[in-house]
Amino acid sequence: MILLVIALLLAIFLLPNLWAKWVLNRHARPRDDYPGTGGELAEHLLKRLGIDGVEVELTEQGDHYDPQARRVRLSREHYAGRSLTAVTVAAHEVGHAIQHHHGYAPLLARTRLVAVAQQAEKLGALLMMAAPFLFVLTRMPGGMLIVLLAAVISFGTAAMVHLVTLPVEFDASFQRALPLLKEYIPPYDMPGARHVLTACAFTYVAASLASLLNLGRWLVILRR
């Protein structure tokens, strides 16, 4: 039973990311028939859609859209790459810029929650480590319960961020990026683009499940 649970957890944590990496590599072959790179497509889309003030940058921190700085940031292989993976990832990140431009509520909620969750996770970890010592020092079971509940709530904030992230990522991929890509890549490449977007989406699903499992683990500790 224990081995089965361990195998299930490993599958949840590892397989989606491994599959996404395989899919991205599969469609990363350079395409001479594409008119531009991922970075060039991102810049073109932003200009075409009238999204002013957003710039496209090269990053070493992984592909993402920064709503605070208003930057579409692409890794080197996607910024300078001329492949189906590169243009699909670029279109996805532009999808987030489109969401921001239109005031898409889940994106705005996630942006606010991320800042809160970063502090809450740190506080939760400190509270969990300090709780046994506080209990010994104060001999107050009620105080101990408050500390533990506060820690669980802080970990729950992280789980909430991941859950809010799911509709944001799916919308950026399938409601924003995919319709745009239909105008820029050949029809026979559309299944591959959808494959890339689906693989990336599953990594967020895995992160959400992992976050919920982490929260559940602390709830079990609390019940003891």
SS3 67: coil
Structure tokens at 148: 């533990």
Specify whether the CB–CB gap between 29 and 83 falls below 8 A. Answer: yes
What are the E-state strand segments in 51-122? 55-59, 64-66, 71-75
- SS3 (DSSP) at 105: helix
C-alpha torsion sign, points 71, 77, 80, 82 = negative
Q: Which of 77, 93, 169, 183 is catalytic?
A: 93
Would residue 93 show up in a list of annotated catalytic residues for this protein?
yes
Distance from C-alpha of 144 to C-alpha of 174, rounded to nearest angstrom: 46
DSSP state of 171: I
Output Rg (C-alpha) for the chain, integer angstroms.
21
Q: Residue type for 110, please?
A: R
DSSP-derived 3-state class of residue 69: coil
Contact of 95 with 67, CB cutoff 8 Å? no
* Catalytic residue list: 93
